[in-house]
Amino acid sequence: MLNFLAAFEPMHFVDNLWYMGIGMLGIFIVIGVIVVLTMLLNAATAEKPDSEKKD
């Protein structure tokens, strides 16, 4: 039993790299969406310069 728990199979790590890559890609996509939405909200709610304001 102890021998089974301590078994090291390097190919299992290599096989799981695919899932790790997909997870990291998902994280980067979500961060990108948050950055783009923040930029859009900043552009939409920014105050206009004095020359463009109508008093």
The pLDDT assigned to 10 comes to 86
C-alpha distance from residue 11 to each of 15, 27, 34, 40 (Å): 6, 25, 36, 44
The pLDDT assigned to 48 comes to 80
pTM (two decimals): 0.65
The pLDDT assigned to 23 comes to 97
pLDDT tens for 5-50 read 667 788 988 999 999 999 999 999 999 999 999 999 999 998 887 7
